[in-house]
């Protein structure tokens, strides 16, 4: 049974920096934007700030569906962040 030869890992400083920058975006700016969206939606969902037919629709239908999507995207980005960390470790351990 044939065995496969070890694979050589090639990476440039630019690749390492890009992985690090992507993780930073996910951990920093995107997380901040997600938090801001939730905070702003919380203001709009408060009947003391906004009420009426459109506001009720936003509170009961619109925002909950988008919040689920936002949560799903956040979960997927967290998986990507973990994979980026794994990639960075693999590259660094390969020398």
DSSP state of 9: P
Q: With H, G, I as helix, E, B as strand and everything else as coil, classify residue 46.
A: coil
Mean pLDDT by groups of 10 residues along the chain of 95 residues? 65 87 89 94 98 98 96 93 88 76
First and final C-alpha spacing in the chain = 30
Q: How far apart, in whole angstroms, are the C-alpha atoms of residue 26 and residue 29?
A: 7
CB 88 within 8 A of CB 16: yes
Phi, psi of 50 (to 5 degrees): -155, 130
């Amino acid at each position: 049974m044939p065995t496969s030869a070890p694979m050589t890992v090639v990476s440039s400083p630019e690749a390492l920096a890009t992985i690090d920058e992507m993780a930073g975006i996910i951990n920093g700016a995107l997380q901040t934007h997600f938090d801001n969206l939730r905070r702003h939606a919380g203001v709009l969902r408060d009947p003391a700030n906004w009420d009426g037919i459109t506001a009720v629709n936003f509170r009961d239908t619109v925002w909950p569906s988008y919040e689920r999507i936002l949560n799903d995207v956040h979960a997927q980005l967290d998986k990507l962040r973990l994979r980026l960390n794994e990639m960075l470790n693999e590259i660094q351990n390969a020398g």
